[in-house]
Amino acid sequence: MLSISVAAIELTSCHQEPEATSASPTLANDADSLLKGKSFSYLALGDSYTVGESVSESDRWPVQLANQLAALLPSDTLSAPTILAATGWTTNNLSQALTSSGYEDETWDYVSLLIGVNNQYQGLALEQYEVEFSDLLNRAIGCAGGNPLRVFVVSIPDYGYTPFGQGNQQTIRSDLAAFNGACLSISADAGVAYFNITPISQQWPQTDNLIANDGLHPSGWQYTLWVQSFAQEVKEMLRP
């Protein structure tokens, strides 16, 4: 079975610009210093993309993200991610697993959600996905202590740009665009960051080494590209 998120302040005084520029690193460093000695817990919710089907454990994108954040932060403040995901899961499957996991009884420092490709693959209705994804996102916010600023959503990658899906690429692309559109809208309404990695997944075959050996799922290198695109923004979520 397939498993398959500026305010610009224009300074009118030329004498103020150097102060604003020089103050920014200080403010950033002060914020980072407040993170020393803290330990952040991370709950990653999803399907095969989150569990890392056909790649090593160290290549899973939540693991790569935690490692990248540990390098960006002032000290090793992140524990290994807790992953609730499995190949083939739909929104309904993830919902049931979350209910039985006990994870909603805990408070997590940040939570990610990536789900929906199996809804599309199994021909389930977009309207059903919208209802179930909205519920999952609200529960993810609950897992983060009710703080939507500590939750982020990752878009559904496009498996039409794989050896497995290329024969039906246009239909897959169109379907997933609708699912991702709903995902983005629901995330925005909830005040949750949305990271669009779908264009990265659509770089195959022009970009080498993007697909795992199964011909369907992303490679560890593609997951690296995902993480590089949003790690800095996730870091900002962890600041006080």
Q: Where are the domains of the chain?
A: 40-238
Based on the number of CB atoms within 10 Å of its own CB, is 3 exposed (0-12), middle (13-18) or buried (19 or more)?
buried
How high is the pLDDT of residue 228?
Answer: 98
The C-alpha R_g of the chain, in whole angstroms, comes to 19
Q: Is the pLDDT of residue 197 over 50?
A: yes
How high is the pLDDT of residue 39?
Answer: 76
Which of 15-24, 72-81, 178-187 has the lowest average pLDDT?
15-24
How high is the pLDDT of residue 239?
Answer: 76
Tokens of 205: 């075959």
Task: Give all strands of the β-sheet with 82-85 in edge-to-edge order.
Answer: 82-85, 42-46, 110-113, 151-154, 193-195
Mean pLDDT of all residues in 56-70? 95
Architecture of domain 40-238: 3-Layer(aba) Sandwich (3.40)
Binned at pLDDT 50, 70 and 90, residue 66 comes out as very high
Mean pLDDT of all residues in 92-118? 98
Instruction: Answer whether the bond into residue 148 is a cis peptide, omega within 30°.
Output: no
How high is the pLDDT of residue 70?
Answer: 87
C-alpha–C-alpha distance, residues 191 and 8, integer Å: 20
Contact partners, residue 181, CB within 8 Å, separation at least 6: none
Q: Is the pLDDT of residue 15 over 60?
A: no
Q: Is the pLDDT of residue 22 over 80?
A: no
Mean pLDDT of the chain: 87
If one compares 122 and 14, the residue with the highest pLDDT of the two is: 122
DSSP letters, the chain, are -------------TTTHHHHHHHHHHHHHHHHHTTTT--B-EEEEESHHHHTTTS-GGGSHHHHHHHHHHHHSSS--BPPPEEEE-TT--HHHHHHHHHHH-GGGS--SEEEE---HHHHHTT--HHHHHHHHHHHHHHHHHHTTT-GGGEEEEPPP-GGGSTTTGGGHHHHHHHHHHHHHHHHHHHHHHT-EEE--HHHHTTTTTSTT-B-TTSSSBPHHHHHHHHHHHHHHHHHHH--
If one compares 45 and 29, the residue with the highest pLDDT of the two is: 45
How high is the pLDDT of residue 19?
Answer: 37
Q: What is the pTM of this model?
A: 0.86
Mean pLDDT of all residues in 143-168? 98
How high is the pLDDT of residue 24?
Answer: 45
State the amino acid at position 185 in one-letter form: S
How high is the pLDDT of residue 7?
Answer: 31
* Residue % of the chain over a pLDDT of 70: 82
CA-CA-CA-CA dihedral for 174, 149, 88, 175, to nearest 10: -10
How high is the pLDDT of residue 215?
Answer: 98
Binned at pLDDT 50, 70 and 90, residue 79 comes out as confident
Mean pLDDT of all residues in 226-237? 96
Binned at pLDDT 50, 70 and 90, residue 71 comes out as confident
Q: Is the pLDDT of residue 4 over 60?
A: no
